[in-house]
A = this chain, B = another copy of it.
Amino acid sequence: MATQHATDEAAIRQQVDNLIDGIRARDLDGLKPLYATDIVSFDVQPPLQHVGAEAKMKNWVDVFTIYEEPHYEVHDLTITVDGDVAFAHSLNRLSGRLTNGTTASGFWVRFTACFRKLDGKWLIAHDHVSLPLDFESGKALMDLEP
């Protein structure tokens, strides 16, 4: 059981590494197979939810329209797994060179990814990425540090 958990956790960590690599390379073909076809995604940008892998990929297209060289770091990734279900969370930082020529100093987001093992592969069945907000101003807090 402990060995199986360790094997599964390593496979999930590899999928998160694949996510980082896919974002840095702006590689839509590399990113799409990480997601379950029926993923429900709560992403930083609207709408409230993206349902299905196609909708999720459109969101990545939007990000890559803004970022020429996106740099995505995952910090303190914690994975909990049993059987065919797992969840992972971390604090991630997005920065990089923009398509408009400027370089974004970056901001931290909270990252939650929930996995299902489908046909032997750990796929992201649900994810949630966000920033906290300040209720007084209605502004997202983009300058917070962990």
Residues of chain A whose beta carbon lies under 8 Å from any beta carbon of chain B: 40, 42-49, 66, 78, 80-87, 89, 91, 108, 110, 112, 114, 116, 125-126, 128, 130-135, 138-142, 144-146
Contacts and interface: CB of A to CB of B under 8 A. Distances in A.
Q: How many copies does the complex hold?
A: 2
Contacts of A89: 40, 42, 114, 126, 128
Given A43-B132, A48-B146, 8 more contacts: A40-B89, A42-B89, A45-B132, A49-B91, A66-B135, A85-B85, A130-B132, A133-B133
A37 to B, nearest CB: 15
Nearest to A80: B85
Contacts of A44: 132-133
Contacts of A114: 80, 87, 89, 112, 114
Q: Which 5 A-B pairs have the closest CB atoms?
A: A130-B130, A82-B83, A83-B83, A42-B110, A87-B114
A66 B136 CA distance: 12
Contacts of A125: 80
9 contacts: A45-B132, A46-B141, A48-B145, A48-B146, A89-B114, A112-B126, A130-B133, A131-B133, A133-B133
Nearest to A132: B46
A128 B110 contact: yes
A21 to B, nearest CB: 24
